[in-house]
Structure 1
Amino acid sequence: MNSNRVVKVKATVSIEKETPETERPDTFLRGNDDGVASSVRFRFEKMIREAQDTVCNAIEIADGGGKFKEDVWSRPGGGGGISRVLQDGAVWEKAGVNVSVVYGQMPPDAYRAAKGAASNDQKPGPIPFFAAGISSVLHPKNPFAPTLHFNYRYFETDAPKDAPGAPRQWWFGGGTDLTPAYIFEDDVKHFHSVQKKACDKFDPTFYPRFKKWCDDYFYIKMGSNYDHRLEYNDGMGNMLDTWSSCHRDERRGLGGIFFDDLNDYDQEMLLSFATECANSVIPAYIPIIEKRKDLPFTDHQKAWQQLRRGRYVEFNLVYDRGTTFGLKTGGRIESILVSLPLTARWEYDHKPEVGSEEWKLLDACINPKEWI
């Protein structure tokens, strides 16, 4: 039997290939969008680019020497982005802060990834869309310093009402969440307090609603704590049965806020809310880093951090809607996967000792808490 078969795979690439640029343009918007300073597209792009500069500057100051590498890219039909990555610094193992403005044709499966589920108004055929966003993941070296993720985005389906595909829609999405390897309650309370403060400026129901949404979204489902039957070979040609418990059913970290498909409020209000959330990243996170980045740690504590990084990778590649959407629409791979840490670790059936600091972290991931 010839095992070297050629398998043809039809890829769904719906965005034009990017072109490297030597300078940052004033805007990545198309000509018919450019210059309309009152438009949501224009103001959202301005916000995310300012946020990128602010966050990168704060990260470099905290690192004390590391500098971001920057790639600027564009696409012939409009759109582009700025990807910035700091690797192997004094504080950061890897820090990525990306902005993008994208025009494209969205196939139905990518529309489902963007919306989370099929909708009744979905019709066959490609759906023109516009998307802009900032996305960042910050992985420190010290296991006592937590990983941070934040993402804020604006999305439109761009089809006229009489065109095939989805009717014209818009929505905002995003969030900021904390993923420590060890729990310092003061740190977690501070982080959640800043998220609540940003939410309360707009609606007192936002924080409890979006906090629960975050806990529910960053959830590693595989296993679901049930027993399942396995067959294995005993080495003598005999297939035997056994039973194995699955051990996920846990959150990626200790939460924060998350929201998506948000369009049931005034558009101006939601633009201001996304801006406030993006501006809250530095005060929520950098004070924690300054307290924890230089603490001494052991090889055991570093190994635990690497195991939790493994969970981070697992969630991003298997469950994350943003990753799925980017891959299904032919997005820029380096930017999509910049969220992954430089190093991670997987051990078979690892269980921390009950009552240990590692166990406390896992317990909080399995049983989300109200921190404030």
Structure 2
Amino acid sequence: MTDTTTDLFHDRKTRASAWFRTLRDRITDAFEALEDSQTGGPTAGLPAGRFEVSETRRASDDGSDAGGGLMSVMRGGRVFEKVGVNVSTVHGRLGEKAQKAMAARGVPGMADDPRFWASGISLVAHMQNPHCPAVHMNTRMFWTPGAWWFGGGSDLNPCIEYDADTAAFHETLREACAPHGADYYDRFKAWADEYFFVPHRGRARGVGGIFYDDLNTGDWEADFAFTQAVGSAFLPAYLPTVEAHRDDPWSDADRDAQLVHRGLYAEYNLVYDRGTKFGLETGHDANAVLMSLPPLAKWV
């Protein structure tokens, strides 16, 4: 790699990392504003939720700096029972297991050189009201000496499904994808349907969304712009579904359905999710990696 190429990717890494932090700030501000505006419904008497923010660090084998990030978690709010919004920028050398997995995916040079750099944002929200859907969103950039790529997406996970919410969520994602690739929405929706399927339950974990990984068209600027569009689409896609149902009354049966669905969500994240596996295998803060798990769940 030439000095010019090294400088170029240093600049690109800096820009990507800064964008993920900006997106994090935008989302946490919007979620706290939603808490403040919740003046009706069954949880109106609770204090407005606020994020607790802590630094995370990646553990390296030799004790050297390997990066880290911010873990922001809100618990017991008026709207959110638990929501986490994490950002991180980490680097170092992949462990043998992670390196082999990357090499098996065809990452150029990974079989011989385990160095990596990764930055991204990851969000999971579990709601107080069972009529408000849980949601997941993440976007990331990954770099190795032989390759770079983007990945991410968002998907809706209601325990009580509303067709209008599903349609509106998907339409917002379709509009975000359209300027970047005529086939992006259809491709990445199909990928999400496949990726967020729970084989041992024989069902999807939610109503889908979009998912993409290993995105490298050869045009870094275009792929970064698309990843920014996916992140920017999250709030317009999700907030209307919350605002439509946050004042709805719920029954014990509704709460039971919510807890059972959370069990399905936890099963998926612990058994199949790539991000969970990667985070734990590369020494990132375990609490941050497992932030996605619900505060309460139930199995029948």
TM over 0.5: yes
How far apart are residue 55 of structure 1 and its match?
A: 0.4
How far apart are residue 80 of structure 1 and its match?
A: 1.8
Q: Which of 83, 90, 93 is 1:105 aligned to? A: 93
| AA in 2 matched with 1:61 | A
CA deviations over 1:184-241 (Å, ceiling 9, x no partner): 111111100110000001111000000000000011112xxxxxxxxxxxxxxxxxxx
How far apart are residue 119 of structure 1 and its match?
A: 3.2
For residues 290-309 of structure 1, the aligned pairs below 5 Å read 290-309=243-262
Equivalent in the alignment of 1:92: 80
How far apart are residue 287 of structure 1 and its match?
A: 1.2
Structure 2 CA distance for partners of 1:36 and 1:82, relative to 1, 3 Å: farther
Equivalent in the alignment of 2:160: 182
**CA separation in 1, counterparts of 2:180 and 2:14?**
22
Q: Secondary structure of the equivalent of 2:182? A: coil
Which TM-score applies when normalising by structure 2? 0.88
**CA separation in 2, counterparts of 1:37 and 1:121?**
16
Determine if contact 2:176/2:233 at 8 Å carries over to the other structure. Answer: yes
How far apart are residue 70 of structure 1 and its match?
A: 0.3
Instruction: Confirm whether residue 209 of structure 1 aligns to residue 196 of structure 2.
Output: no
Larger helix proportion, structure 1 or 2? 2
| AA in 1 matched with 2:270 | L
For residues 162-201 of structure 1, the aligned pairs below 5 Å read 168-201=146-179
Determine if contact 1:107/1:126 at 8 Å carries over to the other structure. Answer: no
| AA in 1 matched with 2:269 | N
Instruction: Confirm whether residue 119 of structure 1 aligns to residue 72 of structure 2.
Output: no
Determine if contact 1:202/1:273 at 8 Å carries over to the other structure. Answer: yes
Structure 1 unaligned regions, length at least 5: 1-34, 159-167, 223-247, 348-372
| AA in 1 matched with 2:143 | E
Instruction: Confirm whether residue 255 of structure 1 aligns to residue 208 of structure 2.
Output: yes
Structure 2 CA distance for partners of 1:37 and 1:129, relative to 1, 3 Å: closer
- The number of equivalent residue pairs is 280
**CA separation in 2, counterparts of 1:146 and 1:112?**
36
**CA separation in 1, counterparts of 2:86 and 2:26?**
12
Equivalent in the alignment of 2:43: none
**CA separation in 2, counterparts of 1:157 and 1:123?**
7
Structure 2 CA distance for partners of 1:345 and 1:215, relative to 1, 3 Å: same
Which TM-score applies when normalising by structure 1? 0.71
Equivalent in the alignment of 1:154: 141
How far apart are residue 141 of structure 1 and its match?
A: 1.1
Equivalent in the alignment of 1:31: none
Equivalent in the alignment of 1:51: 23
**CA separation in 2, counterparts of 1:94 and 1:279?**
22
Structure 2 CA distance for partners of 1:255 and 1:120, relative to 1, 3 Å: closer
Determine if contact 1:37/1:43 at 8 Å carries over to the other structure. Answer: no
Determine if contact 2:155/2:208 at 8 Å carries over to the other structure. Answer: yes
Equivalent in the alignment of 2:129: 142
**CA separation in 1, counterparts of 2:67 and 2:195?**
29
Instruction: Confirm whether residue 83 of structure 1 aligns to residue 52 of structure 2.
Output: no
Q: Secondary structure of the equivalent of 1:296? A: coil
Equivalent in the alignment of 1:283: 236
CA deviations over 1:82-121 (Å, ceiling 9, x no partner): 1100001111110000000001211242135457x44385
Determine if contact 1:106/1:129 at 8 Å carries over to the other structure. Answer: yes
Determine if contact 2:100/2:111 at 8 Å carries over to the other structure. Answer: no
Determine if contact 2:56/2:285 at 8 Å carries over to the other structure. Answer: no
The structure having more radius of gyration, on CA atoms, is: 1
**CA separation in 1, counterparts of 2:221 and 2:89?**
19
Equivalent in the alignment of 1:370: none
For residues 33-48 of structure 1, the aligned pairs below 5 Å read 39-48=11-20
